[in-house]
Amino acid sequence: MTQTHDLSATRMAAAVRTREVSPVELAEHYLARIERLNEQVGAYVTVTAERAREEARRAEKAVLDAAGPADLPPLHGVPVPIKDLNMVDGVRMTFGSAAYAEMTGFADDHVVTKLAQAGSVLLGKTTTPEFGLPCYTESDVAPPARTPWDLTRSAGGSSGGAAAAVASGLAPVAQGSDGGGSIRIPSSACGLFGIKPTRGRVSSGPIVPDLFGLATNGPIARTVRDAALLLDVMAGHMPGDLYRAPQEDGSFLAHAERAPGRLRIARTLEPPVPGTEVHPDCVAAYEAASALLEELGHEVVDLPQQVLGADLVAHFVTLWGAMATMTPVADEDTGKLQPLTRWLRGLGEATAAPQLLQAHAALQGELRKAFPVMDEFDAILHPTLAMPPVPVGYFHDQEPEENFRRQANFTPFTAVYNISGQPAVNVPLHWTDAGLPIGIMLAGRLGGEGTLISLSAQLEEARPWIGRKPEIWTA
């Protein structure tokens, strides 16, 4: 029997517009599931139940008052949670940190405003690790985010709560953010489709600066079309943004309905992080995806050279340490920070301004050499991660340096495209014999989200994953 949370977000939005489903019914359904299951999966740090009910009642009234479906916005009545790194006016915001456990948001991020204007209903704030710095979601303010495919294992991070919510049926789609892989990592660990858009596609304002352009907001969803619709809503340059993505030809949702044509796709299994070994299950997913792409008529070749390699790692760590200092913490609250956060902030505080500028300049120099090679291809294929989902505590229980080393070896492929600003997606094509999801990553040219979405929709049609559901889905 079909349950309410079996509906895709696009189908849900259509059903609301035609009065087949009530926004109040949707909100109550998800709030009930969150109440029953959230403690198991660690998806939400704050649930805005009364606000969700009020927004759903207003959405229902708007449906009844509307002259027709065309008068309603694209996500009208559809529940969408916000990651706890993004501010919502009047809603608790912790940044995943005990140092901010009692803070209340005093403004709306632009992405929050856009989702509200699209008619979405806020269910709450999804869990994130402290300041979004790690690739796993274990904090001092909420339970660990766990992949519903094996509740002993991490959902990844830093959008771990967002991915756990969607994969467990606690939200139809979710907003996430990605500064080093934080949408693609949990999407892989939870068997979802996630998009890191081109730098400048989605505004990080009005509060969060986009100085290095590493981080961006993006969608996490069960289907390519849902993610494309969410990206259409979230996208847009705002005054004061330092970066602007190239103009896209048509809507992203339209690209999901469009055949990609025959594409030239490069692939590489060589990790940019030295000392990384790619797990056989991740190699199997990569080889199977390569074969499927060829079967669909695309040209698949090995990337002719390692264009962004080990030289980038130290420079990226320099920037990451500096970014860790950007969230202010009162002296009396520094003891509340987790060991990894204190270690990363120490790296950042010890970095002189010339070192920081030199690191950023060195990254730009490497990109100037790399883009002529990468731009020869419509897409580049990698494993998303070098390992299947790992047990909760695999990173968190280590000393900071070992913790960070393990993270780098777990996620060697993702941060490259935060450095370059290129769009990249996780496509959930593979599951292990033990039932764990293994994603593959496709990166595109700057401004090339449309091509990636068309290609991903073709892959989804050839190897549908929507029918795969973890046991908790039917709870």
Residue 166, both tokens: 């969607």
Terminal alpha carbon distance of the chain:
13
Q: Which of 120, 168, 182, 454 is catalytic?
A: 182
Q: Which of 120, 158, 203, 420 is catalytic?
A: 158
CA separation for the pair 427, 415 (Å, rounded) = 17
CA distances 49 to 16, 77, 125, 273, 299, Å, are 20, 14, 11, 43, 50
Phi, psi at 442, each rounded to 5°: -120, 125
Number of H helices, E strands in the chain: 15, 11
Pairing of strands 82-83, 173-178: unpaired
CA separation for the pair 34, 276 (Å, rounded) = 37
Backbone region of residue 329 per phi and psi (left: phi > 0; alpha: psi in -120 to 50; beta: other values)? beta
CA distances 132 to 177, 215, 266, 383, Å, are 9, 10, 31, 22
Which positions ≥6 away from 188 have C-beta within 8 Å? 156, 384, 385, 426, 428, 437, 438, 439, 441
Pairing of strands 264-267, 379-383: parallel
CA separation for the pair 415, 423 (Å, rounded) = 11
182 is catalytic: yes
Residue 263 near residue 299 (C-beta atoms within 8 A): yes
CA distances 342 to 22, 211, 400, Å, are 47, 22, 9
Pinpoint the alpha helices (H) of 66-194: 110-117, 160-167, 184-190
CA separation for the pair 90, 355 (Å, rounded) = 39
CA separation for the pair 311, 274 (Å, rounded) = 10
Q: Which amino acid is at 383?
A: P
Q: Which of 22, 83, 114, 420 is catalytic?
A: 83
Positions marked catalytic = 83, 158, 182
